[in-house]
Amino acid sequence: MSVSMKGKSLVSVHDLTIEEVWQILELTRAVKEKNLVGEPYRPLEGKTLGMIFAKPSTRTRVSFEVGIYQLGGVGLYLGPKDLQLNRGETISDTARVLSRYLDGIMIRTFSHQDVVDLARFGSIPVINGLTDLLHPCQALTDLYTILEKRGKLEGLKLTYVGDGNNMAHSLMHAASKIGMHVAVGAPKGYEPAKEIVENSKKNAAFWGTDVVVTNDPVEAVRDADVIYGDVWASMGQEAEADERKKLFEPFQINAELVKRAKDDYTFLHCLPAHRGEEVTAEIIDGPHSVVFDEAENRLHTQKAIMALLM
């Protein structure tokens, strides 16, 4: 498969074609294989990635910074106090200026509109490293991890249990785009955004697969091939943590709940994880969990994304 993605931005998985998703997954496999045998892969020699962080990060910062280095380029960390955005400079001006200096931008921020505007006004690829609405790099990593562990994607059922947040949104986009069944089990009032659900159902209609949103975690998990968990209170929601714990307690991924899944289910979590809250230690540290392989795959998937876009 050879689909040219040079110069494009990754704002949402929903914006990608099926061919582009597979291009990313196939290059991820090749990049990981090269890494395992120590074979250099440096297509971005002399290129610079600007990394804008409005939110702190472990996996996103380390994986992008190491990834651009391994690809032959340089990563420039731009923290909350490093840009003039906090002093009133517009996103459009920032995008135009950075486009004169850099070869690509990765941004991890709160407002999704900031990413949209960077991509709109800039003339270089913009990679969404996370917003309050979406987390596309993680979802593409998850597709690759499922493919790596299960040997296929089409026809599998992925169940997400918990808050209908940015992770749920991107997983719905990704799973429905690639021919998987997807179910989300979330408390009432915490379901995924209606627009995301509608887009995912349109994707699923192409394949004849199901997209289900339910307030019953048992219904969501029934016959799942993959179970996915995330924290109940995301960054910026710390004040709601105690209230959310009470509401989300019935949605804990534990030994009783996973009985409804297939016997050989795979457990994923984007991390960080709070053992004893959204998932028990028995599950996340158990034989079905591949969360650390999944975390490693962020490096390989994002290298593939950068190599294709930049």
CB 258 within 8 A of CB 283: yes
**CA–CA distance, 171 with 169 (Å, rounded to integer):** 6
Q: In 3D, which of 154, 137, 152 has the Cα closest to residue 270?
A: 137
**CA–CA distance, 249 with 251 (Å, rounded to integer):** 5
Tokens of 299: 């490096």
Place of tokens 């651009």: 68
Q: How many CB atoms lie within 10 A of CB 242?
A: 9
At 261, which amino acid appears? A
Residues in the chain, overall count: 310
CB 95 within 8 A of CB 121: yes
Report the C-alpha dihedral over residues 284, 287, 290, 293, rounded to 10 degrees. Answer: 120
The distance of Cα 117 from the centroid of its chain, to the nearest Å, equals: 20
**CA–CA distance, 250 with 258 (Å, rounded to integer):** 13
The distance of Cα 237 from the centroid of its chain, to the nearest Å, equals: 19
| Catalytic residue list | 108, 135, 138, 230, 270, 298
**CA–CA distance, 76 with 106 (Å, rounded to integer):** 10
